[in-house]
A and B are shown apart, each in its own frame.
Chain A
């Protein structure tokens, strides 16, 4: 069934469409035009998805808190993003008097551009990748690391205490979790043997019986995925790691001094980073565009990729609706004292998995090591924790 021409056409519909459009041009222009078409698709698709996500997030958070959420603009409130967009476009663009106007202007732009670049290497379906770089993963991480610069540019150029504090928090947090993000992805690279994201997906696109060979279904993959998810949440400044913009203490953090469309760009950048990092997580651990069961392979690959990304976004929203914000020291302790050692151990376990060869033995050994480490580290780190009301040493 996966080889029938109808399926192939449907699966490759976007590629065929692109080739058909490009076919109208002279042969010399075709490769460039193909890339431009891909870029246009990405630049239109993901902001559209962002608009949808904002309304779904607001409705979902409402439901989590037993509220209705927005339901006034259009049917069931689904035109809310349009209203928000018009509002942010027509608002006055305020630049503080003593701000560094150039950097202040460049910060949101460089953020959005860097985040858009991340999508270039993500395989969104079979053969659907804009650039198949040999070092795609490296490219992705270098782009996501450059968002830190934009955040700090925004915080520093605003010349505002809240902005600067937010930016400093953001940089501290993003650098700490960047390490974890990289190390948890390295275990995938160790097994797949490639930094190219399409190759990593292809390595997971096979089945035992009906079950897929996704990396999340291995002990090291599950542990790596959990660590990746924690680091991804922190990387994208989502709750419970939303300290850089903690509105109850820092007004809005690094984008306090932004209004109108520049603020909308920051907002867009944040959500795009969330899509990108979910897409990477999907690619690395959840089998990318491959179907979850072998009998579901008739569904086009891009549907699977986007459903997995939207599922991750839903989990992001769900966590936001559940968890309160961490304190800065808790955040740092968690990164350096729990997540990082565990990820390093996971690297060791991955190597063990690689060299123990096929068989049930490696499943048992790897699972035991990881579970024991998790329980032990949990016990040790919570040993000195006092839960309950806070005790004050001097002020009573």
Chain B
């Protein structure tokens, strides 16, 4: 009959109206500043720099290779390479960034810097409350503001972080094994009577 659908619809909305006062499941609203839902593991907002150990400056994994700076689509990363070198996590001498700035207002959260980084040095954070009242200085994060410990990385992306750690550990073990083998070879060479070998050193 004419008008039947209207009555059905009105009944449905009335059920919603009264139901929303009775059952909490109907209301899906999370009242944000007071209530929060935990971030899902894959959430990504803005990059940060990972450091190992306690000292952020010494432990920074970044070697200032500048790949991310070149790959960044909106060009929001600014890196200055150091003149001197410091040992990285395997003990190899590497450059380090004397300046590593990211402009929050330009970053588009594409994660390309993370994907191109060969050193697992830059990762995505899930911190999203980045608002500031200083729109120039406050939006340009320097390396100190960007540095986060590896433990923090584990706390926000546990699965990914342990995969990264496993990969780094493997590499370190490989390097160590190589170094050990080289050392053994050198020791064997030194032990053996070798008359004609004046300039050996690192004959890799």
Measured in the bound complex, the distance between the Cα atoms of B10 and A64 in whole Å is 10
Tell whether A246 is near chain B: CB-to-CB under 8 Å: no
A321 contact set on B, CB distance < 8 A: 13, 17
Known contacts: A377-B2, A378-B3, A381-B2. The answer to whether A68 contacts B9 by CB under 8 A is no
**Can you pick out 13 interface pairs between chain A and chain B where the beta carbons lie within 8 Å of each other?**
A64-B16, A66-B20, A67-B27, A68-B29, A68-B31, A318-B10, A321-B13, A322-B6, A322-B12, A375-B1, A377-B2, A379-B2, A381-B2
Taking CB atoms, residues of chain A closer than 8 Å to B3 are 378
The digit string for B18-57, where 1 denotes a CB below 8 A from any CB of A, is 0111000011110100000000000000000000000000
Contact B16 A63 (CB under 8 A): yes
Q: Which of A60-92 contact B (CB under 8 A)?
A: 60, 63-68
For A356-376 the 0/1 string (1 means CB < 8 A from B) is 000000000000000000110
Interface range on chain A: under 10, 10 to 19, 20 to 34, or 35 or more? 10 to 19
- Seen from chain A, the residues whose Cβ lies within 8 Å of a Cβ on chain B are 60, 63-68, 318-319, 321-323, 374-375, 377-379, 381-382
List A contacts of B28 (CB < 8 A): 66
Q: A67-B29, A68-B27, A378-B1 are in contact. Are A323 and B16 (CB under 8 A)?
A: no
Residues of B within 8 A of A (CB): 1-3, 6, 9-10, 12-14, 16-17, 19-21, 26-29, 31
Contact between chains at B20 and A318 (CB < 8 Å): no
The answer to whether A66 and B6 have CB atoms under 8 Å apart is no
A-side contacts of B2, CB under 8 Å: 374-375, 377-379, 381-382
- Identify the closest chain A residue to B7 (Cβ): A322
- Known A318-B14, A378-B3; judge A66-B9 contact (CB<8 A): no
Q: Which residues of A contact B20 (CB under 8 A)?
A: 63, 66
Q: Are B1 and A322 in contact (CB under 8 A)?
A: no
CA distance A68 to B24 in the complex (A): 11
Residue of B with least CB distance to A68: B29
CB proximity of A318 to chain B, nearest CB, Å: 6
**Chain B nearest CB, measured from A234 CB (Å):** 15
Q: Are A323 and B9 in contact (CB under 8 A)?
A: yes
Residue of B nearest to A382 (CB): B2
Distance (whole angstroms) from the CB of B203 to the closest CB of chain A? 74
Question: What residue of chain B has the Cβ atom nearest to residue A379's Cβ?
Answer: B2
B28–chain A nearest beta-carbon distance, Å: 7
Q: A66 contacts which of B1, B10, B27, B31 (Cβ < 8 Å)?
A: B27
